[in-house]
Amino acid sequence: MTMKTTKFFLRRSRMLDFLNEIERTPDLGAISVYMPPGLSTPEIEDLLHKSGINSIPDELGHLVSSAKTGSVLFWGNIRKCLVLPPFPLGERIIFSEYVAEPLSMMIGKEFMIGLVLLHLGSYAVGICQGEKLISSKVGTGLVHGRHKKGGSSQQRFQRRRENQVRDFLDRVCLHTREQLEPHAQLVNYIAYGGPRQTVLLLQKRCPFLQSLEDRALPLLDVPSLHQRVLETAVGRIWSSCIIDWREE
């Protein structure tokens, strides 16, 4: 018998309905395994072995080990799925039935989240309470593209571009502080979006963001920035990924 794999995403309200449906599913052979991020492969294998699951998909180990916020496995005769939650799980737990309450409680919280999205030349920063964007700032900055010619003109252009990048990142840092600093003690997570190298450059030049690095969520892939992208990012932050297996 083969297993068909389906992957999909659910925003918060639909995810809570999904978890409620799982808990109402009668299945005497069901297991729920909560696995926080950072577990090694042997730890994952040991946890799955202790749960009593005998036959699992080949890709499950990789999915769990690469999950940046951890994962929850619901495995029984009726439902077989892995949930990658939007926020980090705190501890490993095994239940001998479908138990979604710890995950539902986490997703149902009104977390305050700072958003810092940027490409070189455009940025969007803001803060949301739950899925509601309560303040934001979107803007642009002059950063020329790379110079393709050689010689002294290229060196001058490169120095000018480096100055533009520094000025742009310093301005983004300033606006980030304006948006987030008044709420810094209440912010639960920081969500970054954009090219990884650009985000790292900003973090390096912005001591305020360095002070919040322990609250960072996995990096979002975002297009060129405007207000609509910022609003869409809020929904993505709160979305859970589900990998579902069905027997054929």
Q: What is the pTM of this model?
A: 0.87
What is the residue extent of each domain of the chain? 3-109, 112-237
Encode pLDDT of 104-156 as tens digits.
999 999 999 999 999 888 899 999 999 999 999 988 876 655 555 555 566 66
Give the architecture (CATH level 2) of 3-109: 2-Layer Sandwich (3.30)
Encode pLDDT of 47-78 as tens digits.
888 888 777 788 888 999 999 999 999 999 89
- pLDDT of amino acid 111: 97
- Cβ atoms of 98 and 76 within 8 Å: the answer is yes
- Considering the four listed CATH numbers 3.40.50.970, 3.30.1370.100, 3.30.420.60, 3.40.1190.20, the one that applies to the domain covering 112-237 is 3.30.420.60
Sheet containing 189-193: which strands, arranged edge to edge? 132-140, 122-129, 112-119, 189-193
- pLDDT of amino acid 33: 95
Mean pLDDT for the chain overall:
89
Give the span between the Cα atoms of 186 and 111, in whole angstroms: 9
- pLDDT of amino acid 169: 94
